[in-house]
Amino acid sequence: MIYSSTSQLAKAIRSRQLSSTELVEAMISRVERLDPTINAVVVRDFERALAAARAADKALAAGDQRPLLGVPITVKEAFNVAGLPTTWGLPGTWDIPVAEDAVVVQRLKAAGAIILGKTNIAMMLADWQSANPVYGATRNPWDLERTPGGSSGGGAAALAAGFTSLEFGSDLAASLRAPAAFCGVYAHKPSFGLVPTRGFAPPGAPTLSVVPMIDMAVVGPMARTPSDLMLALDCTAGGDQHEATAWRLELPPPRRRTLSEYRVLVVDAHLRVPTAEPVRAAIEARAAELERLGASVTRQSPLLPDLGTVTDVFTQLLLAGFAADGPAPGPSHADWIRADRARAGIVDTMRRLFEAFDVILCPAMPTVAPALNGSAGPPATLETGGVQIPYQAQPLWAALSNLTGGPATMVPVGFDRAGLPVGAQVMGPYLEDRTCLHIADLMEEAFGGFAAPPGWDDENPPTN
């Protein structure tokens, strides 16, 4: 039960093999017993979760068949959950409850899910580890001296440790894909604008019926199976209230039916950041496995946008967003428009690339999980490929899909010599999220997927 998928748990509840109350009690017990080692579920809502579980069991008896009925899940601390604080790791905000659920939380609850609690983050979501002055640092279940990633690191750690089967996080610069890669779980960065972000806001943000979209930022699910990612996306995608009067969502189906039909472009070298050998080796091994099953695998193409230019444009737009909320000066509006026009050219190139290929398979991060710095803050550099790289260069592999708005699914593809998980991302055409998720599902079936960290499926997990 601890490592069952969300779909399996929902089915067990519907078939009366397991009550929601029993499941929530078991999850609470596991978090209370084991989470002090990891510090993943930092805002706990256990009393209301138990009440919701009892209500779910009654609803089931009355014929309720909602897809997530009675399943306990977690969400990133940065989402508003009515009655709980939303701090974004900022001191002085931990005892201020919010009044209204984020849209994503509303839709998950409407599907029957029970919010067990909220998971740890980087302060202001601005790091690839999850540590802040309010809740402290989260550790990686694979190695407690390493980071689980960030800024959605608490959720990835909770999934790997068996504290939840489904999590919702966010991604502006690999904040879903970095922790999923470091913790060996799955994540999906949806196409830009596919899932509403209203209620995903720092403390003190005004409650409005229409909110400005954060350029390049998305919210999306994390899970231990690709099918759970699709289930979560189905429950949350679609226009917000002010759009729903005119727009209806109809995502296209996957492009292909079998792995042998897929056209895959494999990219493992970046102009601006070296890729660690274990990451390249695991991706090449996955490419070879795809070839053996008949997929068309290509390792270079002139259609790929120049990754140096992608980095420059992404960085300029990212810094413009940061400058809007901080004291540092940013680019002028004219500079932003010029960068946005450059982005349009890259988007056009990607559209032509996806006429020749169905997906791109590439690293999610350049390294496996780095050592945990925690309250010391991020280091200046990391070592990869035998050289020191700037710490801030970590999300450069993620930049292409964020910049162009396309979907990307993070999949586990292997382990390094020390047994740490290696992740890769499957990038697809804008709004063709089902293609990324479908090939991830087929790869899980053919090659395997999530594996529990050693010892965490026992009653006495590691305490190193």
Active site residues: 76, 151, 175
Question: Half-sphere exposure of 20 toward its Cβ, with a 13 Å CA cutoff?
Answer: 27
- The amino acid sitting at 222 is M
Number of C-beta neighbours around residue 396 at 10 A:
25
In 3D space, the residue among 288, 408, 314 whose CA is nearest the CA of residue 360 turns out to be 408
- Strand ranges inside 120-217, DSSP E: 131-132, 136-137, 166-171, 186-189
Residues 212 and 195: their CA atoms lie apart, in Å, by 14
Nearest to 119 by CA among 68, 74, 58: 74
The CA-based dihedral angle spanning residues 210, 211, 212, 215, taken in that order and rounded to the nearest 10 degrees? -120
Contact 335, 316 (CB under 8 A): yes
The CA distance from 233 to 251, in Å, is 11
Count how many residues are written for the chain: 464
Give me 393's structure tokens: 């260069």
Contact between 248 and 260 (Cβ < 8 Å) = no
Q: Which of 74, 195, 57 is nearest to 138 (CA)?
A: 74
Pairing of strands 263-266, 359-363: parallel
Name the maximum alpha-carbon separation found in the chain.
62
- 3-class secondary-structure state, position 88: coil
Neighbours of 433 (CB within 10 A): 28
